[in-house]
Amino acid sequence: MSGTHTDAAISRRVRKLEALLEERGIVAGAALDEALDAFLTGSSPLNGARIVARAWTDPAFKERLLADGTSAVAELGYAAGGVQPQRLRVVENTARTHNVIVCTLCSCYPVRLLGPSPSWYKSEAYRSRVVREPRAVLAEFGCVLPADTEITVWNSSAETRYLVLPRRPAGTEDLTEQALTDLVTRNALIGTATL
């Protein structure tokens, strides 16, 4: 997605916060680095892809996933939250509906399931525009949907994270769960791509 956002402003704010925490003796820089490293270990879009592949191959799991994403992903050993627990809501793309995720306030995102968020997800341009003109923003990602497809934009928050369950590609009925996992992209899990 094009835009004028750079990560420099966010980086400056994060560094300022880190410096304040260190100055006040709340946390040592090394401890903060260790906590971040531990948090990111195992955080990957592959986790979300595995969840999707399981849903595509196991109808009972898919039903549980759509009813209570938090509990369903826990069955596979995953959590939606980060430092504090969050609720995970999974929204399904169909032939008539397409879902896309945003956090308009900041950049809330299920890091454990999707890995570190892409810079465009954090950008002010994406956060403001996808709500007002989702079809145009999706087209900038190369995701051009039929005119009669209803687009729903879901706003993540500190309490609730979202994951898109993409439509299973046609012709994949004979693929194994692992092969299906390999088809799923991070952007499809956010809703800025189809498979």
Six-digit token pair at 135? 């079809």
Catalytic residue (one of 43, 108, 117, 156): 108
Six-digit token pair at 188? 């499809």
Catalytic residue (one of 71, 106, 117, 128): 106
Residue type, 74: A
Catalytic residue (one of 43, 71, 107, 128): 107
Determine whether 11 is an active site residue. Answer: no
Which DSSP state fits 169?
A: P
Catalytic residue (one of 103, 123, 143, 156): 103
- Tokens 């590609």 found at: 169
Determine whether 143 is an active site residue. Answer: no
Determine whether 108 is an active site residue. Answer: yes
Q: CA–CA separation, 4 vs 48, rounded Å? A: 29
Determine whether 44 is an active site residue. Answer: no
Buried b (16+ CB within 10 A) or exposed e, 157-189: eeebbbbbbbbbeeeeeebeeeebbebbbbbbb
Q: Does an H or E element contain 124, and which?
A: helix 124-132
The number of beta carbons lying within 10 Å of the beta carbon of residue 156 is 22
Q: Is the distance from CB of 169 to CB of 115 less than 8 angstroms?
A: no
Six-digit token pair at 110? 């299920």
Which residue numbers are catalytic?
103, 106-108
